[in-house]
Amino acid sequence: MASKAAIETAVPMDGDDDLAEEEPQAEPGFGPVRRKGKKTESGITFEPAEVEDVMVETIEEDAEGEAYAKPEFAALTPKQQGMRRQLRRIQVPPHRMTPLKASWIGLIEPMVEHMKLQVRMNTKRRAVEIRNSEHTTDIGYLQKAADYMKAFMLGFDQPD
């Protein structure tokens, strides 16, 4: 029986134009093929449509070209910024103890007066301890002061 179906199947020849007129099916996955007035697999017809004239209205502003006013906010307090009591401890090497004693007042003066930090020398641990207070206005002052003292411990002088 299978041999009869094979015999009855038409085989295309060089002169057959009937079979060549069929449109080749596009492979799925390469995107939609849109032809004018043709229906897609989903049944949607894509046809050109005319759009009515669009009216564009311009709104005249009182102050043309001027930027809006920037909002003015009050500065946040350290408590509102989420600052809590923090401590930085800088170790003092033995060879820097004498220079530290000699220039102690000059070193801590800007930290105490301008940055409102609390500074002390812990002789038992041989370390300078710096902590912020409720009067410290900037969160970054504590780290700046710690870097300042660390630079002195590495051998830099105060004016540097």
Give all domains of the chain, ordered by start, each with its CATH number. Answer: 87-153 (3.30.1370.10)
Strand order in the sheet with 127-132: 87-91, 127-132, 117-122
At 31, the pLDDT band (50, 70, 90 cuts) reads: low
| CA gap 112, 157 in Å, rounded | 19
Q: Residue 50's pLDDT is what?
A: 73
Look at 157 and 95; give whichever has higher pLDDT: 95
How many CA within 13 A on the CB side of residue 142?
20
| CA gap 97, 91 in Å, rounded | 10
**90 strand-pairing partners:** 128
Q: Is the pLDDT of residue 18 over 60?
A: no
Q: What is the mean pLDDT of residues 21-48?
A: 62
Q: What is the pTM of this model?
A: 0.51
| CA gap 25, 33 in Å, rounded | 10
| CA gap 17, 27 in Å, rounded | 23
* 154, two tokens: 């590495």
Sign, CA dihedral 61-63-66-68, equals negative
Per-residue model confidence as pLDDT tens digits over 46-105? 777 776 766 666 666 655 556 778 889 888 776 777 777 899 999 999 999 999 999 999
- Do the beta carbons of residue 160 and residue 154 sit within 8 Å? no
End-to-end C-alpha distance for the chain, whole angstroms: 104
Per-residue model confidence as pLDDT tens digits over 108-150? 999 999 999 999 999 999 999 999 998 888 888 999 999 999 9
How many other C-beta atoms are found inside a 10 Å radius of the C-beta of residue 103?
13
Which secondary structure element, helix H or strand E, spans residue 119, and what is its range?
strand 117-122
Which secondary structure element, helix H or strand E, spans residue 88, and what is its range?
strand 87-91
Q: Residue 47's pLDDT is what?
A: 74
Q: Is the pLDDT of residue 14 over 70?
A: no
